[in-house]
Chain A
Amino acid sequence: MGLELDFSVVLERWRALLDGAALTLQLAFIAVICGAAIGVFGAIGRRGGNALVERLCGAYVEAIRNTPLLVQIFLVYFGLSSLGLKFSAFTVAAVALTINVGAYTTEIMRAGFDSIHKGQIEAAEGLGLSRAQIYWHVIIWPGIERVYPALTSQFVLLMLASSVTSQISAEELTAVANYIQSETYRSFETYIVVAFIYIALSFVMRFGFWLLGLALFPRRRRLGTPL
């Protein structure tokens, strides 16, 4: 008896799948933007002089890196509701994913910032640049350029991991899949289709980051060599 696959009942629900994919991308987009901002400040905090700030940033990173994403999501979910705050599943998912990716981004950016040679900073100091100007022109941008591939991977990983937020009924792609398979009893087909959609989303994201990289790093665009 061969395997009989029937995709029609799954593909029939393309509208729902598309909505789910769009929500997944939205979650990823929000978490990446906010997480990148957290990453920059977190990395500066972990490097910059103040022992208390350094400890706090370090504790944040370690707490996130050593707990499962699903547990983090539940902590945000139940944490907010026990404070009497009522947010949509989407908001909770976005917050949890942001906190999660912010920690990983902090670590990656710290590695990037640390890779900037001391001589670069001294040269900038010698020219009279302020600390903030040195960070912005000499540490942050070239630092991010160095670790851009690692950042991109982390962000794509985050998009894939967002599937876990189906557990709190955020209506993203995996939640839609769960719903479709329970309705159609075509579980295998459903997840095959969804897997391909995730692959497509990954490609879309990687392409987007490639374009963004061209815009952000003109030296790389012109010379084609890594910094």
Chain B
Amino acid sequence: MNAHSAPPAAAAPVVALRNVHKSFGPLKVLDGVSFTVPRGEVMVLIGRSGSGKSTALRCIDRFETIDNGEIEVCGRRVDDARLDVRALRQDVGIVFQSYNLFPHLTIEENITLAPHSVKKVPKAEARALAAKVLAQVGLEEKLHAYPEQLSGGQQQRAAIARSLAMQPKVMLFDEVTSALDPELTGEVLKVIEALATEGMTMVLVTHEMSFARGIADQVVFMHKGKVHEAGSADILSSPSTPELAQFVGTGL
């Protein structure tokens, strides 16, 4: 590569972690983590409870600051103390296990809030956007419902729609189906699959192994704060480390 010209935008990864270290007090949670997510790819993070998956995800969106290493997201250095955090978060959508819809607002208001107040999208346009993203997750008829009137699966889909309305360049999902029973899990996973098909760049933490196998361009297995094994979805069926073998073997 020519050192004097910037690399072409298409080649720049959407998310890149380089040798990231992070401790909570004496507890080392990320111990030199590196991975790269190119545009349009889906990366699945797996690992035992406490292995640092959520922390890694939260570092990407600057919910945690790191001790050492580099994080680059959509051309921004997230580890830079002068980072414009709000600008970063307009490019990154994040969905948590607990849906965290705003209970006092209708689904439509939940969705239009950020586009209208952050991006200054006019009200009418924001409402059209809400209808569009709700259709995308199959909830168009719930526009005027309140969160508590929705099932868990519907709430999670609404939360995804709320993130999509900001038109993020990358979506982060942290165990978004863990609070749902199998039937509701299916409807949420379908929405995520559709997003993958449309070319959305995604990083997702999940315990749904068959889902991971189907959707992942890349699987990263974390163990004790390190990337213990990484590769294509094939590593799930033929793991090369005993730890991953044990992890997929237990069916976790």
Binding site for B on A (CB under 8 A): 117, 119-120, 122-130, 133, 137-138, 141-142, 145, 217, 219, 222-223, 225, 227
- A residues within 8 A CB of B89? 125-128
Pick from B90, B93, B98, B146: contact of A219, CB below 8 A.
B146
Partner of B114, one of A120, A129, A141, A219: A129
> Please, which residues of chain A bring their CB within 8 A of the CB of B113?
127, 129, 137
User: Which of B87, B89, B106 has most A Cβ within 10 Å?
Assistant: B89
- Supply 7 A–B pairs (Cβ within 8 Å), ascending by A: A125-B89, A126-B89, A128-B89, A128-B118, A128-B166, A129-B86, A222-B146
Q: B residues touching A (Cβ–Cβ < 8 Å)? A: 61, 63, 86-87, 89-90, 92-94, 96, 98, 100-106, 113-114, 117-118, 146, 148-149, 159, 162-163, 166
The CA of A78 and the CA of B53, in the complex, are separated in Å by 63
Complex contacts, A222 vs chain B, CB 8 Å: 146
Shortest Cβ distance from B185 into chain A, in angstroms?
A: 20
Cβ contacts under 8 Å, B163 to chain A: 126-127
Interface pair A217/B104, CB less than 8 Å apart: yes
Query: How many residue pairs bridge A and B at CB < 8 Å?
Result: 71
Do B96 and A125 touch across chains, with their CB atoms under 8 A apart? no
Chain B residue nearest to A143 (CB atoms) is B104
Interface of A is mostly: helix
A119-B102 contact in complex given A125-B63, A223-B146, C-beta closer than 8 Å? no
Contact partners of A126 in chain B: CB under 8 A:
61, 63, 89, 92-94, 163
Note all chain A residues with C-beta closer than 8 A to B90: 128
| Complex alpha-carbon distance, A222 and B146, angstroms | 9
Contact partner, B104, options A119, A127, A128, A142, Cβ 8 Å? A142
Report the minimum CB–CB distance from B119 to chain A (whole Å): 8
Select A123's contact among B86, B92, B100, beta carbons within 8 Å: B100
Residues of B within 8 A of A217 (CB): 104
Cα of A129 to Cα of B165 in the assembled complex, Å:
14
- The CA-CA distance from A36 to B118 in the complex, in Å, is 27
A141 & B104 in contact (Cβ 8 Å cutoff): yes
Nearest-neighbour CB distance to chain A for B155, whole angstroms, equals 12
* Chain B residue at minimal CB-CB distance from A146: B104
Q: Out of A122, A127, A138, A145, name the residue touching B118 (CB < 8 Å).
A: A127
Residue of A nearest to B97 (CB): A119
What CA separation (Å) do A219 and B149 show in the bound complex?
11
A123 engages B96 (CB within 8 Å): yes
Q: A49 → chain B, closest Cβ, in Å?
A: 16
Contact check, B118 vs A223: say whether CB atoms are below 8 A apart.
no
User: With the chains together, A142 CA to B113 CA distance in Å?
Assistant: 15
In this complex, which of A123, A138, A141 has the most chain B Cβ atoms within 10 angstroms of its Cβ? A123
